[in-house]
Structure 1
Amino acid sequence: MKEKNIRKLTIAGVLVAVAVVGSLFSIPVFGAKCSPVQHMVNVLGAVLLGPGYAVGMAFAAALIRNLLGLGSLLAFPGSMIGALLCGVAYRLCPKLPAAYAGEVFGTGILGGLASYPIAAVLMGNTKAALFTFVPSFLISTAVGAAISVLVLSALKRTHVFSSLEGALR
């Protein structure tokens, strides 16, 4: 039991580090700054470790990015809601497309909507409209989910995914 928890914490720590370092890279897409690595990490964490770990990882990555000046307060609702829905969707329907859909809907729609009050109240952005963040969040999370499809496909093809699942369950 203790060894399994150490493995989970180790993988979670590595994935948080990947998310923080990955936030240094962004791709401009239709005028939005697309930073997909966090969303890829959300899917990997939710699928391999479960929704609780995924939310904790999203919170830790957002906190570290904010402390380092690499992110904004909007990283909290977007990444955490996406990670939660991704993990819950995968737990209810243990198929990878359910995890991808949970991440995209959770971050892109719900996270984008939840960012409005944070931007308006805490960040003083009173010009933002309710749906301001949804398009850019959707682009970023869709690209991140697509990258996670490639990563998880490679892990499944090389049988690393099944050995990781066996070691962590």
Structure 2
Amino acid sequence: MHKNINTSAQRIKKMVVAALLSGLSYALSTMIIFPNMAPFQHFVDVIAAILLGPWYATLSGLITGVARMSFEARPATSVVSILVAPALAAWLYRLTGKIWGAVLGEIVGVGVIGALLSYPVMKYIYGLDLKHFYYYMPFFIPSVVVGSILGGLMMYTFKKSGQLKRWQKLLNHQ
């Protein structure tokens, strides 16, 4: 019984942190504007991947993507990469134990896989006349590189100060 209570408490902590990170990502994306870029989504995705793991990081990104689609009239590309990138970032972080693993996972997940997955969604569902399957890569890569590196630098700063380990312990990171 005690283990179930602890597991429930850990899930609630992770849900709360995922919701807070979603709000932070949405707020930063609306207040700090770069033309055709959303680097703070990727900044927060790296943080979520390291702190929360694949499921809750993906949930956090999905909440942000849906909010951006709903309130800012963003296209489905806001959500398509979220289905891959945070999970890949978290998986590579767990595999390597290194912050750069999360950064690389986010970059590949959005800049390559997410961009390629966005092509059929936008071409066949939205009916856009897109000539090449790699159409979104030049748009996604600058944003994801900037945001992921910033997120990685922030997490590296937290690691050096000892805060990362403290947060991971608090969230029962595995």
Give me the TM-score of the superposition, normalised by structure 1. 0.91
Identity rate, percent: 26
Larger helix proportion of the pair: 2
Give unpaired runs (5+ residues) of structure 2. Answer: 1-5
Q: Which moved more, 1:136-145 or 1:76-85?
A: 76-85
139-148 or 18-27, which moves further after superposition? 18-27
C-alpha distance in 2 between matches for 1:94 and 1:70: 37
Q: Following the alignment from structure 1 to structure 2, what is the Cα–Cα distance between the partners of residues 52 and 128?
A: 34
CA contact (8 A) 2:88 2:106 kept: yes
Matches within 5 A, 1:141-160: 141-160=144-163
Match of residue 111 from structure 2? 108
Query: Which residue of structure 1 aligns with residue 38 of structure 2?
Result: 35
Partner of 1:14: 20
SS at match of 2:79: helix
Amino acid of the structure 2 residue aligned with 1:61: T
Give yes or no for contact 1:42–1:103 (8 Å, CA) kept in 2. Answer: yes
Q: Distance in 2 between matches of 1:128 and 1:21?
A: 34
Please state if 1:45 is matched with 2:52. no
Letter matched to residue 138 of structure 1? I
Mark the structure with the bigger radius of gyration.
Answer: 2
Deviation at 1:27, TM superposition (A): 2.0
Q: Give per-residue Cα distances to partners, 1:128-147, cap 9 Å, x unaligned.
A: 42111011111111001111
Deviation per CA, 1:64-122: give whole Å up to 9, x if none. Answer: 11111252210111233111110111122211111111110111000000000111022
Give 2:129's match in structure 1, choosing from 101, 126, 131.
Answer: 126
Q: How many correspondences in the alignment? A: 165
For structure 1, the residue ranges without an aligned partner over 5 or more in a row are: none
Contact 2:47 2:152 in 1 (8 A): no
For the pair 1:26 / 2:29, whether they are aligned, the reply is: no
Whether the 8 Å CA contact 2:89–2:105 is kept in 1: the answer is yes
Q: Which runs of 4+ in 1 moved over 6 A?
A: none
1:49-128 superposed matches below 5 A: 49-128=52-131
Question: Is the contact made by 1:23 and 1:70 (CA closer than 8 Å) also made in structure 2?
Answer: no
- Matched position secondary structure for 2:106: helix
- Contact 1:119-1:125 within 8 A present in 2 as well: yes
Provide, for residues 38-84 of structure 1, a one-character-per-residue CA deviation record: whole Å limited to 9, x for no partner.
Answer: 10111111110100111111111111111112522101112331111
Contact kept, 8 Å, 1:85 with 1:106, in 2: the verdict is yes
Aligned residue for 1:16, secondary structure, equals helix
State the distance in 2 between where 1:127 and 1:92 align. Answer: 36
Aligned alpha-carbon RMSD (Å): 1.4
